Homo-oligomer: A and B are copies of this chain.
Amino acid sequence: MTLPLHETTIAIVGIGLMGGSLALALREQRACRRLIAITSNPVTREQLLARHIADETSADLQRIAAADVIVLATPVRAIIELLPRVGALARANSLVLDLGSTKREVVRAMEQLPAHLHAIGAHPMCGKDASGFATAEANLYRDAVFVLTPLARTTPEALARAQELVRIVGARPLILDAERHDRLVAAISHLPFAVATTLMHTALELANTDETTWTLAAGGFRDTSRLAASDVTMWRDILLTNHDNVANALRVYARHLDTLAQAIAARDETTLTTFLERAATKRRTLFR
């Protein structure tokens, strides 16, 4: 950790949208001396070398042994499964960091890493509905909030290095504990996904008797349903590792949905206007 960042070797495990964008951003910023990309996808490995994004590629996790910083950028449950092997392979004093979308279970698994390793959880608040290295871009992290979730064992040096990495890719670090992170993202990220996916199922059922329904889909449907197209494995892992918070958010959501449904059924203009006004006012102040 005493090495300046630009003299380090960074290994990224999992080269999809997140890991690939990180590789592109680190290379663009000449952030490190050496970049090792670890992915089972041979096409991605070839592209990383051909485009001079990585200095070395491998399908073998063992190559993390050469790194000072190890970034795990797979779906959450793969991160949790990888961590014991990472602990056995990583060299002393290296920093293990992940980009998983939920943090409690990751951080719990990180606590089990050998004492000679540094560790911190991370979660960049950005994404796309498309996935895979083909969708990666150097600017993905620019101006995004990048949550860091320190563990009890996280040293000030490890936290500083993580913040340095976040800043060099153009993002803004925000320190939260894992419990709080998972509670907040349930409302602001996981609930929108659940809502979009449920919208697709409802439209599928309602359009079943009249396919012309799809012809009428315009920008409103497109945007509200967008998240439903996202990577299924990533989202399944998110919902499973944050099930309690998501279940709670869905309960609150169902209650508000019922309030709206009742106002519509009763043609209660006053309640309806107040309900719509409150949501519109907040939404307009959030995004201008």
Contacts and interface: CB of A to CB of B under 8 A. Distances in A.
B223 A282 contact: no
A254 interface: yes
A250 B240 contact: no
B221 A223 contact: no
B202 A283 contact: no
A236 interface: yes
A210 B184 contact: yes
A229 B213 CA distance: 24
Given A264-B243, A283-B200, A145 B252 contact: no
A198 interface: yes
Interface in A248-283: 249-254, 256-261, 264-265, 267, 269, 272-273, 275-280, 282-283
Nearest to A240: B267
- The number of times this chain is found in the oligomer is 2
Interface stretch (A10-18, A65-73, A186-194): A186-194
B188 A221 contact: yes
A54 interface: no
Given A200-B283, A216-B189, A272-B236, A226 B229 contact: no
B210 A180 contact: yes
Interface string A157-196: 0000000000000000010100010011111110111111
A275 B216 contact: no
25 contacts: A125-B218, A129-B283, A174-B215, A185-B216, A186-B206, A188-B213, A188-B218, A189-B218, A192-B223, A195-B224, A196-B224, A198-B256, A204-B278, A204-B282, A205-B256, A223-B223, A223-B227, A224-B227, A226-B287, A235-B276, A240-B264, A240-B269, A240-B272, A250-B257, A250-B260
Interface of A: 125-129, 144-145, 147, 174, 176, 180, 183-189, 191-207, 210, 212-230, 232, 235-236, 239-240, 243, 246-247, 249-254, 256-261, 264-265, 267, 269, 272-273, 275-280, 282-284, 286-287
